[in-house]
Amino acid sequence: MKKTLLILGVTATLMLNGCARGANVEGMQAMDHQAHALSTATFEGLKKASAPAFPVGSKVTIHSDHMEGMNGAEGTVSGAFDTTLYAVTYKPATGGKTVHDHKWVIQEELKDAGEARYAPGDSVTLNADHMEGMMGAAATIDLVVKGTVYSVDYDPTTGGDTVKNHRWVSEDELSAR
C-alpha cells in the first residue's frame, strides 16, 4: 500500500510539474518564461539601435501573447537593436509538433544569413536557442519586419518571478507607461 501511494505521489507531482510548465497545444511548444532570456552569447553584426522609440531603461507595457502572462505585463527595456525580425514556422530539431508563427527570430539568429534578407516562404536554418529544439531546426519564414527589436524585463501578469531579458519584442508590441 505504501509503495502504491508513493508511486501515485510521484506521478501526481510529475503531472503537476508538466501542467505548470505548459502543454503542447495546436503546435505551440511548452516553454518556460526564462526560455527567451538572453544568453551570454553575442550576435555578430547585431547593432544597438541608433534611435529606438523605447531606449534602454524605458518603462513599457507589453502587448504580445508570445508567452502566458506577457500580454499587458509591465516591464523595462533591457536592449534595443536595429535588425530584421522574422516570424517562423519550424519543426523542433529534438522532435515534437511543428511550431507555427513563432515570433521572433532575428537576422543574426539565422544560420549563415550574413547580409541576405529573406522573404516569406524562404527556407532557413535556425541558430537560436529561445526554445528547446530551436537550434539547428529547419524553418520557413512567415513574416518579415525590418526595424528595432527589443529585449525586456517584465513581471508576468500571471504572477511569479520577473522575467529578465525576454527576447524578442517588436516595436509595435510595446507602449510607453
Question: 89: how many CB neighbours lie within 10 A of its CB?
Answer: 15
Task: Tell me what pLDDT residue 6 has.
Answer: 37
40 and 52 inside one domain = yes
134/63 same-domain check: yes
Please provide the DSSP assignment of the chain as one string. -HHHHHHHHHHHHHHHHHHHH---BTTBPP--GGGGB--S---TT-EE-SS-SS-TT-EEEE---SSTTTTT-EEEEEEEEEEEEEEEEE--TT-SSPEEEEEEEEGGGBTT-TTPPP-TT-EEEB---SSTT-TT-EEEEEEEEEEEEEEEEEE-TT-SSPEEEEEEEEGGGEEE-
Single out the residue of 176, 175, 113, 112 nearest to residue 144, CA to CA.
113
Residues 67 and 154 in one domain: yes
Q: What confidence score (pLDDT) does residue 42 get?
A: 53
The domain that holds 58 is classified in CATH as: 2.30.30.1210
Residues 72 and 21 in one domain: no
* 1/55 same-domain check: no
Looking at the structure, do residues 152 and 119 belong to the same domain, yes or no?
yes
44 & 101 share domain: yes
Beta partners for 77? 152
Calpha distance 78→75 (Å, rounded):
9
User: 12 and 37: one domain?
Assistant: no
Q: What pLDDT tens digit does each residue of the chain (177 aa) get?
A: 444 333 334 333 333 333 333 333 333 333 444 444 444 345 667 899 999 999 999 999 999 988 899 999 999 999 999 999 999 999 999 999 999 999 999 999 999 988 889 999 999 999 998 888 999 999 999 999 999 999 999 999 999 999 999 999 999 999 999
Structural domain including 25 reads 1-30
Structure confidence at residue 165 (pLDDT): 92
Q: How many domains does the chain have?
A: 2
Assigned C-alpha cell, 84: 530584421
The verdict on 109 and 131 lying in the same domain is yes
Assess whether 61 and 99 both reside in one domain. yes
Residues 12 and 79 in one domain: no
Same-domain pairing of 14 and 60: no
User: What pLDDT score does 132 carry?
Assistant: 86
